[in-house]
Chains A and B, each alone.
Chain A
Amino acid sequence: MMDSSTLSPGFAAPVIDAQVTFRALLDAMAHPGAAHAVAPLSPPAPLNQAAAAALLTLVDHETRVWIDPSAAAAAPWIAFHTGAPRVAEMAQCAFALALTLPDLAALPGGSDEAPEASATVILQVASLDGGRRYRLAGPGLRVPETIAVDGLPADFAALWRDNHRLFPRGVDLVLCSGDRLAALPRSVSIEEV
C-alpha cells in the first residue's frame, strides 16, 4: 500500500473531467500545436495541471508508465489515482512523463504492423506562448502553423526530424504548460524559425 500523508485528490468529477480532458487531447492531436485547456485539478508538485490531467485521463492499470526521476515525488499520487505500473526502463513504457525531453529513440516506436504500440510522451514545458518558434506542417493543418514553446532543447527540430522520419512508427508528444496542452503527433513535420 502506498499510503502517504501527502496524497491529494484527483478530478473532482472523475467521469466528466476525464471526458473533458480526453476531448482536449483529441482536439490537440487533430490540430497539432493548438493549445487546449484541461479540466480543473490541483496535482502535487512537480506536476502541472495539464500533465496531471492527461495522466489521469490516459493512464490506467493496463498501461506501463515511465516517470522522470526528477518527478518521482508525484509517483505515489499517479500510482494511487491510476493504478498504473511504473517501469524503470523507458523502452517498456506506453506513456512517459517527462520534465525535460527524453531520448525519443529510446522510447518504443511501435512497428510497421502495429504503430499504435508506440509511446506517448507527456512533457512539461515552461510555456506554450513564448520561447523558441517552430513551424508545423502536416495532417490536421491546412496551412503551416507557427507555435512558440519554451522548454524544448535547442536541437529539438533535428531530434524531431529523426522521429518524424520513422512514420508510421515514432512517438507522439504532448506538451503541457499550466492548464493547457498542445500535441505534436508523429505525423507533423517541424522546422525551427
Chain B
Amino acid sequence: MGPNQASPDSHPDPARRRWMAVLARATAAELGALVRAAGPPAYTVLRGPEGGLVMVRGRAGGGGAPFNLGEMTVTRCTVRTDAGQVGHAYVAGRDGTVAELAALVDAMMQDADRSPALDAQIIAPLEARQKARQAERAGKAEATSVQFFAMQTMRT
C-alpha cells in the first residue's frame, strides 16, 4: 500500500489505480456530497464494509532489509451496481461509509460511457483538493526544515 510499491507504468490498469487511490484518501463528507450530486445507480453490497488489519512493511534506509513496521486498520467493501459493474475499495481507518462510497464510485467508473464525466465530476475535484492539502502540509514542513551542511563543511 505504499507509494513506492509498484511504479504506475508497470500497473495493469493505471487509470483505475489513480482513481482508487484518490477515492481511498477522500473523506466521507466530501465523497458523499459528490456522489449524491452525480446521481448514483442502484447497487447491492457484496461484502462489507468490514474492518481488518494490514501489515505495513518498512525498509531500513534505502537498501535495508524489509521489516514489519506494524499493522494498520483497513476497511474494505465490494459493491455491484445493477448494471453489473463490481467495485472494490480498501480504505485506511474504520469509516465504513467511505469504503462503501469509494467502492460504488469504483464500480461507476468502470462504465466506459460515464467514466469521463464522472472523472471530471468526482475524481478531479477530490484529487485537486488532496493535492492542495498535501502542498499545504509540505509547505509547513518546508518552513521548519534545517539544512545539515555543518557536517559536510567540517569534513572538507
Contact = CB atoms under 8 A, between A and B. Distances in A.
Contacts, number: 24
A81 B86 contact: no
The majority secondary structure among interface residues of chain A is loop
A80 B84 contact: no
8 contacts: A1-B88, A5-B86, A8-B46, A9-B45, A9-B46, A10-B46, A10-B47, A81-B47
Most interface-central of A1, A7, A80 (chain B CB within 10 A): A7
B76 to A, nearest CB: 12
Interface of B: 44-47, 50, 78, 80, 84-86, 88
A5 B46 contact: no
Contacts of B46: 7-10, 80
The majority secondary structure among interface residues of chain B is strand
A10 B46 CA distance: 7
Contacts of A144: none
Contact of B50 (A5, A9, A14, A80): A14
A3 interface: yes
A70 interface: no
Contacts of B80: 5, 7
A81 B78 CA distance: 11
